[in-house]
Structure 1
Amino acid sequence: MTVDLSTSLCDVNFANPVFVASGTFGYGMETEDLVDASELGAIVTKSITKYPREGNPPPRIVETPSGMINSIGLANIGVDKYIEEMLPFYENIETQVITNIAGFSIDDYLHVLEKLESSDGTVCGYEINISCPNVEAGRIEFAVNPNLTRELTQALRSATEKLLILKLSPNVTDIGEIAAAAVEGGADVLSAVNTLFGMSIDTATRRPNVNTNIGGLSGPSIRPVGIASVFKISKSVDVPIIGIGGIKSAKDVVEYLLAGASAVQVGTANYRDAAIVTKIINDLTTYCEENGIATISEIIGGVEPYD
């Protein structure tokens, strides 16, 4: 049988629902000799900020059981260099590109978005990182405060007609409340989840294993949190959701889709195998063939919860 893996987020179409997550695939240029970008659902770029950032000093990444803790600190080339060097590159690749934007104030976010809007670039939308847990001067208050989430989203909505995606934090009491605030502010799509707070300690030196003491936990250990978050969000708002957290196989993708996601992002697994997304996409096709599924839409939201 022929399987149609295509999916859509509002009026933007994607060849398949498997994207690469921000911060785990560079800007896409770094992996062009390893991965055929045309096979990916989309590339979500590293977070872009108003000015270049070196990020946090090392140590800033450590492996943990079933995952890793990172404290990279939003290291990036800044919006001006991104426009100059990366946007021309994206004109020549055959997949959708979503620019991830980070900031420390509403003005910061607006500055980056407005520069990108005036650059005439080919990206299909913006993912707004309001929930990075490893930057001290932080934006975590945006992620946990529904009023600030709504205010930020409204400001960004007024500056673009492109796809606007809010990336939500799992480090909240009620993710449904934050999701609702983002949608009220004008978000088209929600992505969930970013990393959880995490810490590990070297028992020989008694020092934390990352320089900021606490970092962001990702990998298979957080997958149940991500799936539960997608399910909760799907019951709170009626917008497309991108599931993130611990995906390393086609089965994991199907779980997220059943929970209510229209697409997913693969993150930490890219560090182990830069070509894993292609393998997951191929395996997803096989899963659909074996289970008589002709289109991805047949899976989305298909979980049968207990009463």
Structure 2
Amino acid sequence: MNTSVDLGGLRLKNPIMSASGTFGYGLEFAPYGDLQKLGAIVVKGLSLQPRSGNPPPRITETPCGMLNAIGLQNVGVEKFLREKLPFLPADKTPVIANLYAQGAGEFAELAAILGDEPKVSALEINISCPNVRCGGVQFGQDPEAAAFVTRQVRRACPDKPLIIKLSPNVTDIRVIARSVQEAGADIISLINTLGGMAVDIHSRKPRLANTVGGLSGPAVKPVALKMVYEVCGVVDIPVIGLGGICSARDALEFIMVGAHAVQIGTANFMRPDLIFDLVDELPVLLAELGVESLEKFRGSLETA
């Protein structure tokens, strides 16, 4: 069965993508499966300069999920281009760079650097991370700020598909989605983590050194599904759904409400081989449902 996807000018062999921050730079997962099978590899968030991230502890388990406050630790864009990107199968599987910055100017500078790299197929702009003090979700919670960043990045990198990653920590995600579409986004991805915290009654301290973090995993899936459904109803550009996807059935639920593709995140920590299995399981499940093509299944939710 043909499961290829046209994602805003980016052609994927299937709709299964990794989610930034959960798949390293891609190379870390090569022992668990063939990276060339995936629809796309979205790498760990990149900044202009290396970041050490937040102090530990930075991850804690929660019921049906996980809280993290990694703080976007990364090697920086130059080291990524020099030591990571050359070893990814970019000629077989699109490599998407996820960008983090503390201001629109930094986003634009990063976009210009990565936009000149032929092995990078698209850019995903992270305006939705809740675990850093500057930048991140501050841009994603205001439609004007989100649009401004989008326009700046679009000018700096006019020739590659531009994905804007949205935060669920907003009053109405549809307003933010429309604003970035109008500002030049080619694709929208959502959701990033929900803001949350966990505490220890014995030590009387938070379980994360950062006190608060981002909630991910199966617990957030109903929220993610609702928001993807809402955004698909108000924009004309493709949407990538993510949030708690752990099975082919989960993936098809997001596609049924309108998503063109999906990203697998926290499930990679539970089973590092899972994302590769989903590529094989998706067409089998579609056949079991009697669906002739992925295109026909997309957006087929009946609400009446």
- The alignment's TM-score, normalised by the length of structure 2, stands at 0.97
Q: Does 1:144 align with 2:141?
A: yes
- Offset of residue 87 of structure 1: 2.4
Partner of 2:130: 133
- Offset of residue 92 of structure 1: 5.7
Q: Does 1:287 align with 2:285?
A: yes
Asked whether the equivalents of residues 23 and 44 of structure 2 are also in contact (C-alpha less than 8 Å), the reply is yes
Asked whether the equivalents of residues 105 and 152 of structure 2 are also in contact (C-alpha less than 8 Å), the reply is no
1:31 and 1:90 map into 2 onto residues whose CA distance is 11
Asked whether the equivalents of residues 90 and 119 of structure 2 are also in contact (C-alpha less than 8 Å), the reply is no
1:70 and 1:237 map into 2 onto residues whose CA distance is 30
Give the one of 10, 18, 21 matched to 2:19.
Answer: 21
- Give the 5 Å matches for 1:259-278: 259-278=257-276
Partner of 1:164: 162
Give the one of 236, 243, 246 matched to 1:245.
Answer: 243
Partner of 1:231: 229
SS in 2 for 1:33: helix
Per-residue CA distance 1:185-222 (angstroms, 9 max, x = gap):
10000000000001110111111111111100000000
Give the one of 77, 80, 83 matched to 1:79.
Answer: 77
Q: What amino acid maps onto 2:169 in structure 1?
A: N
1:127 and 1:5 map into 2 onto residues whose CA distance is 22
- The alignment's TM-score, normalised by the length of structure 1, stands at 0.96
- Offset of residue 293 of structure 1: 1.6
Give the one of 173, 191, 200 matched to 2:198.
Answer: 200
- Offset of residue 138 of structure 1: 3.4
Compare 168-177 and 152-161 and name the one that shifted more: 152-161
Asked whether the equivalents of residues 248 and 282 of structure 2 are also in contact (C-alpha less than 8 Å), the reply is yes
- Offset of residue 93 of structure 1: 5.8
Per-residue CA distance 1:36-90 (angstroms, 9 max, x = gap):
0111111100000010001001000000010000000000000111111122123
SS in 2 for 1:280: helix
- Offset of residue 13 of structure 1: 0.9
2:238 and 2:106 map into 1 onto residues whose CA distance is 26
Q: 1:54 to 1:258 in 2, by over 3 A?
A: same
**Cα-Cα RMSD:** 1.1
Q: What amino acid maps onto 1:287 in structure 2?
A: L
Structure 2 stretches lacking a partner, 5+ long: none
Runs of 4+ in 1 over 6 A off after TM superposition: none
Partner of 2:59: 61
Aligned length: 303
Partner of 1:302: 300
Partner of 1:41: 39
- Offset of residue 175 of structure 1: 0.3
Q: What amino acid maps onto 1:13 in structure 2?
A: R
Q: 1:303 to 1:97 in 2, by over 3 A?
A: same
1:87 and 1:12 map into 2 onto residues whose CA distance is 18
1:93 and 1:72 map into 2 onto residues whose CA distance is 30
- Offset of residue 117 of structure 1: 2.2
- Offset of residue 137 of structure 1: 2.1
- Offset of residue 91 of structure 1: 5.1
SS in 1 for 2:97: strand
Compare 289-298 and 67-76 and name the one that shifted more: 289-298
Q: What amino acid maps onto 2:83 in structure 1?
A: E
Q: What amino acid maps onto 1:66 in structure 2?
A: C
SS in 2 for 1:210: coil
- Offset of residue 113 of structure 1: 1.1
Compare 187-196 and 197-206 and name the one that shifted more: 197-206
Asked whether the equivalents of residues 6 and 295 of structure 1 are also in contact (C-alpha less than 8 Å), the reply is no
- Offset of residue 271 of structure 1: 0.3
SS in 1 for 2:162: strand
Compare 276-285 and 198-207 and name the one that shifted more: 276-285
1:241 and 1:145 map into 2 onto residues whose CA distance is 20
- Offset of residue 139 of structure 1: 2.6
SS in 1 for 2:302: coil
Structure 1 stretches lacking a partner, 5+ long: none
Q: 1:270 to 1:9 in 2, by over 3 A?
A: same
